[in-house]
Structure 1
């Protein structure tokens, strides 16, 4: 005997989008290993079977939360790459990072940096994924700066790889300092200093 029509395909009793946002904010505050399944189910307002059914395991949930983070709060990176000059790329990126880090509505620091500080065997796949993400970001900046050198927008002697690594180091340093309590004004001062030392 088939179950009643109302029982088949019953809609979830929670909003997956809102639940994913709660997971994102929790991972952002506590890092990957610092966030337990009990923390997640409490914050998302669901039980473990519902979490597994909707998002998979903890690692799969983190990957979905990270995608949401990169396309939302951290979208300034892709936006910066579209700027017409290398200096404007750096300026747009740094301003976006300062705005995100200095927004009191956001958890402190950067989700990518917070999660990268995880330790232990459980977090190895996450560390590897985040390392690949950071490498991809640095590579994208290096290619953008190499095009700027070729176009004469940056001095001919500029090393695109070094400049990309420098900018990423400033961005990640800002995130660590923000997590430690640096004010938006102080973060902005660091970003301004980085731009004052920009080549050309």
Structure 2
């Protein structure tokens, strides 16, 4: 799960404003934000290639010509759905990371909120950024590259949070922060796959607890 930022939040505001402008002067045929949310959930459940245009039109409740007119091609629809996902779903996990008083509590919140978010009954299981396009094909290569970049950003965001722990004396200056960040992101990505396979919130919390047990040996943290 990628941390939302100002650019992504700006996208939501701009999208709403653009939708209002496009609809001005004629009756609104559909709510674009609702349609985008439904597209997001379809991509989330079936992946980029698995979600056909027939699936998307059925989920969004609009005809394909309207989808193309409002969002462009399928790739652009996915890109906007992905930005919507980060802006609306990301804070549930990342707010705790940012607000935690210590680096350990930030990682603990990251994993425990992941366990909750990835197993909600009101959403598809797992993470859209992790599961949407793992394999490269002619149709999905650009999408896959964007998702790889987003997953790399998650590692960097955690590394920066860990660096605050070094500055405060919580983490040894000799600790490999990039490796630690990548380890905990790898755990989160594995939790996404486990959730898709049917693991419960408690199952994922046990995984998170096992990963947190490695904290002291990874960071050189003192008692």
TM-score with structure 1 length normalisation?
A: 0.91
> How many aligned positions are there?
193
Q: In structure 2, what is the Cα distance between the partners aligned to 1:189 and 1:144?
A: 23
Runs of 4+ in 1 over 4 A off after TM superposition: none
- The answer to whether residue 39 in structure 2 is matched with residue 33 in structure 1 is no
Q: Tell me the CA shift for residue 149 of structure 1.
A: 1.2
User: 2: CA distance between counterparts of 1:186 and 1:77?
Assistant: 18
- Determine the structure 1 residue equivalent to 2:118: 101
Q: TM-score, normalised by structure 2?
A: 0.82
The CA distance in 2 between the partners of 1:118 and 1:30, in whole Å, is: 14
Equivalent residue for 1:187?
A: 204
Match of 1:5 in 2: none
Please name the residue that 1:153 is paired with: 170
C-alpha distance after superposition, 1:26-61 (max 9, x if no partner): 000000011111111111111111111111111111
Contact 1:108 1:179 in 2 (8 A): yes
Where structure 2 has 5 or more consecutive residues not aligned to the other structure, the ranges are: 1-23
- Deviations along 1:56-109, one digit per CA (max 9) or x if unpaired, are 111111111111111222323431134221111101111211111121111121
Aligned to 2:141: 124
Rounded Cα–Cα distance in structure 2 between residues aligned with 1:84 and 1:179: 32
**Bigger radius of gyration among the two:** 1
Q: CA RMSD of the aligned region, Å?
A: 1.5
* Matched position secondary structure for 1:75: helix
8 Å CA contact retained: 2:43, 2:51:
yes
> Does structure 1 residue 17 correspond to structure 2 residue 2?
no
Answering whether residue 90 of structure 2 is matched by residue 67 of structure 1, we say no
Contact residue 138 and residue 165 of structure 1 kept, 8 A: yes
> Contact 2:103 / 2:164 at 8 angstroms: preserved in 1?
no
Partners of 2:90 and 2:164 in 1: CA distance: 23
Unaligned runs of 5+ in 1: 1-7
Other structure's SS at 1:72 match? helix
1:152-177 residue CA offsets vs partner (Å, 9 max, x unmatched): 11123211101100010000000001
Please tell me whether the aligned partners of residues 174 and 187 of structure 1 are also in contact (alpha carbons under 8 angstroms): yes
